[in-house]
Amino acid sequence: MALSKDFLWGGATAANQAEGGVLEGGRGLSNVDLLPTGPDRSKIAAGELEMLEWQEGYYYPAKAAIDMYHRYMEDIELFAELGFKVYRMSLSWSRIFPNGDDNEPNEEGLAFYEGIFKKLKEHGIEPLVTIAHFDVPVHLIKTYGGWKNRQLVDFYTQYATTVLTRFKEYVTYWLTINEINILLHQPFVGGGIIFKEGDNRQEIKYQAAHHQLVASALVTKAAHAINPENKVGCMLAGGSHYPYTCRPEDYQEAINRDREGYFFIDVQARGKYPNYALKKFEREGLNIQMAEDDAEILAASPVDFVTFSYYCSRTVSGTPEDYAQATGNLFPSIKNEYLPSTEWGWQIDPLGLRNSLNQLYDRYQKPLFIVENGLGAIDEPDENGYVADDYRIDYLRKHIQAFKDAVEIDGVELLGYTTWGCIDLVAASTGQMSKRYGFVYVDRDDEGNGTLNRTKKKSFDWYKKVIASNGEQL
Ligand code: BG6
């Protein structure tokens, strides 16, 4: 079975990493606007250091990002030239509800996105819209403490219902929350959470997770009611865990680490808490407040499809000493000697993508969608500004072959594939521009210098052929 002729080929970006224009058009401040480059970024992202205002002495790359706010027409023209069938993007919550708890949405923010959807429609490109991609209005953090507060369920539902209604004629593919499991690793990024001394951090994180899961189910229900054609997906930061050795303890650790992520998708796709999570809450004394009808809400509205990001696999061990060899991943991982690494220490593993697809399909039996994949690398433009990024082509070629094998040999149901950062944008983990993923080079550096001009890389023509041949010409 070859890829279906309706296979959705495309690329992905997120508002906070691409738009800029953070105080334009009536937009309010959001958590991700306050992540600077430099050593404090990871502490802020983890909720260990408070940053709720812009401060002197820091550089905040999201302020201007790649200025898609003013340049989306040009960017969408490039996506159309690539032959995109789908463009994954996110909406900025604080562009639509500047404070998050406003009574009325910001019309200018809605009009901005309507402009994007009209332009996509003109080119026959299907939008795949993430409602919240690392995005919490700062006012909701200052006033309510972010997602640890149950009231966020209402604010998020109001925001989501507004966009579902307003953009009904343009969008049918929706994702509720980007990489929902990031909440456990970067609680400020994933949930606008800042810890205080003495907090029970695990309890706060799982309480916030519960609120997001309930909100996601409510929005899935609303989406189906607003337009029965709507298809709603969940989104996992994917990449399976390998046991470092065949010691049973290492295998057990790999299962447990996979479950940290699957926990969210188990609830969103199956509609109820898995037993291993309930047992964990009990064992660790985590007191998670659940309202009386929450179980019913979760059960009533599982997602229609399961999406995930995939960059690398990870290797874990039951023995702490083995971590002496750990690599630079957000999720602690031991260096896997069988795999090469990127310049940022992410281990390149195309077969891991095929295996992940199989694991997810076996587990959920729902259509899948790879909504992020790609190589973050340093590009060196020549004197004409051209980047010969054969390394990126090589990475993508192998990963595309791997998902084709999952579909054609293993029979996995896959709706589409959007590469991450189809145009260069700000890296989420480091805030760097120099960690580039795009088919289109953006002239901007890590300090905010550059013309912001767009130039096609070698991979641009390559991906165009891949799409035109429906993945036959790699
Ligand atoms: C995912 C996110 O974590 O990975 C994206 O959904 C992010 O927002 C991407 O950009 C790649 O990570 P990074 O740190 O290289 O940008």
pLDDT class for 331, splitting at 50, 70, 90? confident
**Mean pLDDT (whole number) for 187-209:** 98
Specify the pLDDT at position 16: 97
Specify the pLDDT at position 300: 98
Atom of ligand 1 nearest to the CA of 178: 6
**Mean pLDDT (whole number) for 61-82:** 98
Specify the pLDDT at position 108: 98
Domain that holds residue 386: 8-468
Q: Say how many Å lie between the CA of residue 429 and the centre of ligand 1.
A: 6
Mean pLDDT across the chain: 97
Q: How far apart are CA 84 and CA 87, in angstroms?
A: 7
Question: Between these two residues, 4 and 327, which has the higher pLDDT value?
Answer: 4
Specify the pLDDT at position 99: 98
Specify the pLDDT at position 302: 98
- Of 163, 161, 274, 144, the closest CA to residue 208 belongs to 144
Residue of 235, 346, 372, 432 to mutate, ligand 1, most atoms within 8 A of C-beta = 372
User: Which residue's C-alpha comes closest to atom 2 of ligand 1?
Assistant: 428
* Position 304 in a domain: yes
Residue-wise pLDDT tens digits, 279-308: 999 999 999 999 999 999 999 999 999 999
User: Which residue's C-alpha comes closest to atom 5 of ligand 1?
Assistant: 428
Atom of ligand 1 nearest to the CA of 179: 6
Name all contacts of 54-62 with Cβ < 8 Å and 24+ positions apart.
59/431, 59/447, 59/448, 60/33, 60/34, 60/35, 60/36, 61/36, 61/37, 61/426, 61/431, 61/432, 61/433, 61/446, 61/448, 62/16, 62/17, 62/20, 62/22, 62/32, 62/33, 62/35, 62/426, 62/431
Residue-wise pLDDT tens digits, 158-184: 999 999 999 999 999 999 999 999 999
Specify the pLDDT at position 115: 98
Atom of ligand 1 nearest to the CA of 429: 14
Q: How far apart are CA 344 and CA 342, in angstroms?
A: 5
* Position 2 in a domain: no
Pair of tokens at residue 295: 């179980």
179 is catalytic: yes
Q: Say how many Å lie between the CA of residue 426 and the centre of ligand 1.
A: 9
Specify the pLDDT at position 320: 85
User: Which residue's C-alpha comes closest to atom 16 of ligand 1?
Assistant: 427
In the block, tokens 């036959």 appear at: 472
Percentage with pLDDT > 90 across the chain: 96
User: Which residue's C-alpha comes closest to atom 14 of ligand 1?
Assistant: 429
* Position 474 in a domain: no
User: Which residue's C-alpha comes closest to atom 15 of ligand 1?
Assistant: 427
Angle ∠(347,379,33) on CA atoms, nearest 5: 80
Count CA atoms within 13 Å of residue 186 on its CB side: 24
**Mean pLDDT (whole number) for 334-356:** 96
Pocket of ligand 1 (CB under 6 A): 14, 17, 178-179, 237, 309, 372, 376, 420, 427-430, 435
pLDDT class for 330, splitting at 50, 70, 90? low
- Of 366, 232, 234, 220, the closest CA to residue 297 belongs to 220
* Position 461 in a domain: yes
Atom of ligand 1 nearest to the CA of 14: 8
pTM of the model: 0.98
* Position 323 in a domain: yes
* Position 1 in a domain: no
**Mean pLDDT (whole number) for 66-84:** 98
Q: How far apart are CA 184 and CA 219, in angstroms?
A: 22
pLDDT class for 328, splitting at 50, 70, 90? low
Measured N-to-C along each axis, helices 151-166 and 107-122 cross at an angle, to the nearest 10 degrees, of: 50
**Mean pLDDT (whole number) for 206-219:** 98
292 is catalytic: no
Q: Which of the residues 56, 179, 296, 447 is marked catalytic?
A: 179
* Position 3 in a domain: no
Percentage with pLDDT > 70 across the chain: 99
Q: How far apart are CA 291 and CA 338, in angstroms?
A: 47
**Mean pLDDT (whole number) for 56-73:** 98
Residue-wise pLDDT tens digits, 374-414: 999 999 999 888 999 999 999 999 999 999 999 999 999 99
CATH number at residue 203: 3.20.20.80
Q: How far apart are CA 187 and CA 23, in angstroms?
A: 24
* Position 473 in a domain: no
Number of domains, the chain: 1
pLDDT class for 324, splitting at 50, 70, 90? confident
**Mean pLDDT (whole number) for 412-429:** 98
